[in-house]
Structure 1
Amino acid sequence: MKLPLLLAGPIIRRADYRRICIWVAVRQAGTVRADLFHADTGKKIGSGRTATLPLGDRLHIALVPITPEDGDTFPRDVLLTYEVLHNGKSIVRDHPDLTYDGLALPSLFLPGDRPPLQILHGSCRKLHGEGEDCLAAADTLIARHPRDLKRRPSVLFLSGDQIYADDVAGPLMPRLTALARQLTGWHEPLPGLDTPPSFLPIYGRDAATGLAGFTSSHPSNHLLTFGEYAALYLLAWNGELWPDEWPASEKVIPLLPDGGHRIALQKKYDKELAHLQRTRAALPAIRRALANIPTYMTFDDHEITDDWNITALWHDRVSRSPLGRRVIANALAAYWAFQGYGNDPDRFQAPYADLLPTYFTAKRSADHDLQARFEQTFWSRASFSYHAPTRPVAFVLDTRSTRRYDSPEGPSRLLGDPDAHLADLAARAGYRRGDPLLLISPTPICGYEPVERLQSLIAPLIGPHRLDDEAWRSNLNGYLDLLLALSRQLAPRWTAVLSGDVHYAFNLDYTFHGPDALPPLHLLQLTGGALKNTGFKPRFLAGTSTAFSLFNDGTERSSIRFQTDLPDAAWTLPTRWTETKTLLPLDGPTTSPLIGDNTLGWITLERGHRRLIHRLLLRTEDGDQMATARFELPK
């Protein structure tokens, strides 16, 4: 397949009043320029240019910073449009399907202080996951009111698992490995493997992932090379790169001695193909949405590998495997190129923007020093946390590479040093103590108690890798440290926590009462289901009562209230605290406060940030539906 010039994008990334960044991936090297216009007058108000970064023979990325031409800032609450040119030729006007409502160019706006504020959030988008792809609902929302800035969403947070590198659909593998070779220009050799990964059969990578030390539950099509990781990002964002025809399962599944196993794989292949075709149908809408709303991203584990850094033993085993070290470095390099760089270019440009072009254009198979430098650069990264310039400000937490371990196999502290972490983010963001706060945590900080306690009971019996028990509360020391740090360092008037990961949606109103010297901490836990990975259906748990101290408090809400004593010998923190959780009901197609279907979260802040409405958009074969929870916020 001949590659188009524009491989992916444009995607609007970090955007504030002084700079708007546009990301693209292109086939050819060159200079990329972006111009910003006032949508109503057509006046050019900003521009920027940058050289592409080569990451392969036919893979070049650019993050173009647009800055104001007159004055120091861009206007607020004004519809803006932008153009992108590669070597002087437009690469946007050739894609009229990227625009809304008769506009000639993609558009965006920077919200001011006037409410309401519209925020979208989601996570967990597996291309062959079950159900409809709810990221396409973002396109529907923008298309409804592209010129009405009071109703149009202004920012999108993707809070993890944008790709499932450890669980790739069989039908997609031939196209993915071929695209990887086209992009990079070679079969990447990997330490410990005699056969380049591109020559491994479909559903034939179990041995390689075992050699790397990985513990994914679906390892048979695990990505290994940088080119493969890059190709999956492109396929997740651009349907033009997908195959026109899919080979039949009986032609691609190898002849196996065990005929029953072969039949089972063929059935799996056919099922995955059906789910992939749904995803492909949604890709034009998803591509248009990403071109028209500033988007902030972070990883969870599936961008790298399932269970990434889940325990100290896991981390040490993979770090000692030459193959494991290389694959993790490849995955993080792809994360930086396709997600991390655009989140905060000032913070994440160095040293990657210099290292990666050198590394990927060199004959690195013979340069062991460069290989070691590449691996060490990513393995030693302290944190990929950052703040997004929204109002309220958003702190986006890296809960994977900043972990701390209390024992070799016990649950980890998801944020190793919350005090230092939050202090750094607050200083960078100019956060003022007492201001409201948005906190993006891939997994919920305030989880649904019955499920989390059930996991805690089962984990010692079957092991954390099989259960994937990664709740904040799994390590009570780390959980309490975070809550105390939030209260001590920031004392926000209220905090809205945006999360995903658990594949079911719920809303909790949470209050933490720590030591008397600290103010109470008020959190709103807004958890969305998967964008496309329907799995666990939690509705049967919603009415559980006595077993988990869950009872009705006389209203329509179900409440969890409990008080915990901690032994002094095990804790250096206060030995007593209380927390109150209220599980909010939903108005909509279901009366259950929990939803296990695919959803996109839609948050509206209105009445001077005095009320928050969290809508969960469900996209089904019968049409779009919406479930709503409402919070009254403290002054």
Structure 2
Amino acid sequence: MGKAPLVLGPMMRNVDQTSASIWVETSEAARVVVRAEARSWQARTFSVRGHHYALVEVDGLQPGSSIPYSLEVNGLQAWPELDSPFPPPVIPTLAAGRQLRLAFGSCRTSTDHGKSGNRTHGVDSLRAFALRLAREPEHRWPDLLLFLGDQVYADSTTKEMQKFIRARRNIKEPPGKELKDYEEYAELYRLAYSDEANRWLLSTVPSAMIFDDHDVRDDWNASLSWKRKMEATSWWHGRIVAGLTSYWVYQHLGNLSPAERATDPLWRRIAAYQAGNDDGGDRELDLTEDLEAFADRADKEPRSYRWSYCRDFGSTRLIVVDSRAARELAPERRALVDEDELAWLDEQLQGGFRHLLIGTSLPFLLPPGLHHVESWNEAMSEGAWGPLAGWIGERLRQAIDLEHWAAFQNSFREVAGLVQEVADGRRGPAPAIIAFLSGDVHYSYASEVQRSTGSRIVQAVCSPIRNPLPRLMRSFTAVMSYGVATPVGALVARSIKVPEPPFMWRGLKGPWFDNNLATLEDTVNGLAIRWEKGEADRKDPEHPRVREVARVLLEPRQAAAPPSAQPAGPPSAQQSARRSDPLQS
């Protein structure tokens, strides 16, 4: 039996009112064709390190439509598989005036879904979500799946990944069980996206992504000291080049809109090849050299490329911020987002929207006590108490991950100021809700800035999708975040003369430590957010059910234009009646 034509995909990526981007990895050089409603669109594969990829641009679609499609590789149907138990995949375009429904979360490890995998990693909440959509099509489908970092773990590998590594190199030599090169990244992504339920879900629901530290390595760009330590190893350069190269291929390329792709130098190289203008003729375009040179430069010169992006969904704007690669680590200019990135974010933070969503893998608003501890640690690490205390602070920063927005006080205060301007109506009509959506911390919660006028400013965290903390670590995290850190944090921050935060915030829900996936929906009553987990019967571990963990309804403080009542989803979902409870699917 020959190789299956598809290694991964199809994945439904950037979708707007009239177009969709469908990504695949194939087992060999191929012509990939998407067929829907007697029309077809095609693309030839390009290669990176011997792997083959294509992104098919589907255009000329009707707004608000949901049409079944099939995908062929070299003339043979590869998707949907003929014996698939799942509903036909569809291309779901956006509709003008339709309110947004978005699912989000972060931190997902890839291992088996039987008893063993569930025992060590818990039930995959993304997979439970996929199975519910497949068996209950009356549930409204999200317009977007937003993955906020750590889609893959390059530094904490599973047994399956370690088996692959051992087959090709000595795992006792650096970097050991961690990833070394592109070939290992390609296998890691294959493990992450090949489960049949998740694969079906990603073939029919649009997705957007951003990296966090474990996509490359724990504490990635925590400080200049951390970066210098990595650069002194024999393997770091290969890791960062492979990590950014594979991220562009597997995650970032699909984030780009057609207009953004048209200005991307790498995509323009692919587009020229697709148009037959490349001197390679019918030979497959090998993008390896160009892409690795790009990745090397993106690491050394972060301002040379922007990983952040912005999407408008009717009356809701979503801004997804790179909080890892765009950092400025020089102590005198230390910032979580450099000047160019901050200027771009400044341009996107505007009023005139019903809701403004800011996706950042790292929570902007940590629990207040932990926020103070991180701000104290930053000042200590940067020398406020002298070199010895700075050395101790740096080791503490790396040991317990004190490197969120709170640990970059200049950036925190600058962004807080910009957001307050939007919330106060100084950048156009104030949105009803400004919500930071985040992950990373391996527990979930919701909190809100204390203010009586203008927009409500909230933080919603959903983490992990599948990678729970051990119970002992949960207790430590709870103490650090909500216990001793609360009274002690403010005291130590004042002791080192860290200024008070520009506003105060309080908890609305949480914390909880379940594997879960959150769903956010714009409703006539406000912004509704629900967190759900998967639960599996011991006798049937591979078919989990979904159970609600928590919910919150954020009602507008001031009047805002009501959203359209027309829901999104496949035809069956579009025709179903909307229930009275805004948090019900």
Q: Bin the TM-score by the shorter chain.
A: 0.7 to 0.9
Are the counterparts in 2 of residues 160 and 299 from structure 1 also a CA contact under 8 Å?
Answer: yes
d(CA) in 1 for partners of 2:29, 2:394: 54
**Residue 422, structure 1, aligned to residue 345, structure 2:** yes
Tell me the CA shift for residue 108 of structure 1: 3.1
d(CA) in 1 for partners of 2:555, 2:59: 38
d(CA) in 1 for partners of 2:124, 2:161: 17
Q: Which amino acid aligns with 1:614?
A: I
Are the counterparts in 2 of residues 177 and 228 from structure 1 also a CA contact under 8 Å?
Answer: no
Please give the per-residue CA displacement for 1:569-628, whole angstroms capped at 9, x wherever unaligned.
999xxx87652323124xxxxxxx211111111122211xx4122111112345532122
Equivalent position to 2:78, from 79, 87, 91 = 91
d(CA) in 1 for partners of 2:66, 2:9: 20
RMSD: 3.8
Q: SS at 1:537's partner residue?
A: helix
Please give the per-residue CA displacement for 1:111-147, whole angstroms capped at 9, x wherever unaligned.
54244x4211111012256211111133134225435
The aligned runs of 1:452-491 (5 Å cut-off) are 452-454=371-373, 460=393, 462-488=395-421, 490=427
Equivalent residue for 2:570? none
Please give the per-residue CA displacement for 1:536-578, whole angstroms capped at 9, x wherever unaligned.
425955996897269xxxxxxxxx9x999999x999xxx8765
Please give the per-residue CA displacement for 1:247-300, whole angstroms capped at 9, x wherever unaligned.
xxxxxxxxxxxxxxxxxxxxxxxxxxxxxxxxxxxx221111111100001100
Are the counterparts in 2 of residues 386 and 425 from structure 1 also a CA contact under 8 Å?
Answer: no
Say how many residue pairs are matched. 501
The structure, 1 or 2, with the larger RCO (C-alpha pairs under 8 Å, 6+ apart) is: 2
d(CA) in 2 for partners of 1:175, 1:297: 26
Equivalent residue for 1:131? 122
Are the counterparts in 2 of residues 165 and 305 from structure 1 also a CA contact under 8 Å?
Answer: yes
Equivalent residue for 2:554? 631
Q: SS at 2:42's partner residue?
A: strand
d(CA) in 1 for partners of 2:291, 2:317: 39
Q: Which amino acid aligns with 2:474?
A: K
TM-score by length of 1: 0.70
Q: SS at 2:59's partner residue?
A: strand
d(CA) in 2 for partners of 1:16, 1:544: 41
Equivalent residue for 2:527? 612
Q: Kindly tell me: are residues 94 and 618 of structure 1, through their superposed partners in 2, closer, same or farther at Cα, counting changes over 3 Å? A: closer
Q: Kindly tell me: are residues 493 and 629 of structure 1, through their superposed partners in 2, closer, same or farther at Cα, counting changes over 3 Å? A: closer
Q: Name the stretch that deviates more: 541-550 or 106-115.
A: 541-550
Tell me the CA shift for residue 66 of structure 1: 0.5
Equivalent position to 1:396, from 309, 316, 320 = 320
Q: SS at 2:369's partner residue?
A: helix
The aligned runs of 1:294-309 (5 Å cut-off) are 294-309=206-221
Equivalent residue for 2:153? 164
d(CA) in 1 for partners of 2:483, 2:501: 22
Q: Which amino acid aligns with 1:375?
A: D
d(CA) in 2 for partners of 1:527, 1:540: 15
Equivalent position to 1:375, from 286, 296, 315 = 296
Tell me the CA shift for residue 353 of structure 1: 4.2
Equivalent position to 1:387, from 310, 313, 325 = 310
Tell me the CA shift for residue 110 of structure 1: 2.5
Equivalent position to 1:499, from 428, 432, 438 = 438
Q: Which amino acid aligns with 2:110?
A: L
Tell me the CA shift for residue 455 of structure 1: 5.3
Q: Kindly tell me: are residues 334 and 363 of structure 1, through their superposed partners in 2, closer, same or farther at Cα, counting changes over 3 Å? A: closer
Q: SS at 1:440's partner residue?
A: strand
Q: Kindly tell me: are residues 176 and 290 of structure 1, through their superposed partners in 2, closer, same or farther at Cα, counting changes over 3 Å? A: farther
Please give the per-residue CA displacement for 1:44-71, whole angstroms capped at 9, x wherever unaligned.
4x642222111243x2111111001xxx
Equivalent residue for 1:75? 63
Equivalent position to 1:448, from 358, 367, 389 = 367
d(CA) in 1 for partners of 2:305, 2:295: 15
The aligned runs of 1:54-65 (5 Å cut-off) are 54-57=47-50, 59-65=51-57
Are the counterparts in 1 of residues 455 and 556 from structure 2 also a CA contact under 8 Å?
Answer: no
Equivalent residue for 1:16? 16
Q: Which amino acid aligns with 1:502?
A: V
Are the counterparts in 1 of residues 148 and 212 from structure 2 also a CA contact under 8 Å?
Answer: yes
Unaligned segments of structure 1, at least 5 residues: 38-43, 179-197, 210-219, 239-282, 514-518, 551-559, 586-592
Q: Name the stretch that deviates more: 387-396 or 328-337.
A: 387-396
Are the counterparts in 2 of residues 301 and 307 from structure 1 also a CA contact under 8 Å?
Answer: yes
**Residue 119, structure 1, aligned to residue 56, structure 2:** no
Equivalent position to 2:515, from 593, 598, 603 = 598
Q: Name the stretch that deviates more: 378-387 or 287-296.
A: 378-387
Tell me the CA shift for residue 176 of structure 1: 5.4
d(CA) in 2 for partners of 1:404, 1:438: 24
Are the counterparts in 2 of residues 36 and 66 from structure 1 also a CA contact under 8 Å?
Answer: no
Are the counterparts in 2 of residues 14 and 388 from structure 1 also a CA contact under 8 Å?
Answer: no
Are the counterparts in 1 of residues 370 and 480 from structure 2 also a CA contact under 8 Å?
Answer: no
Equivalent residue for 2:388? none
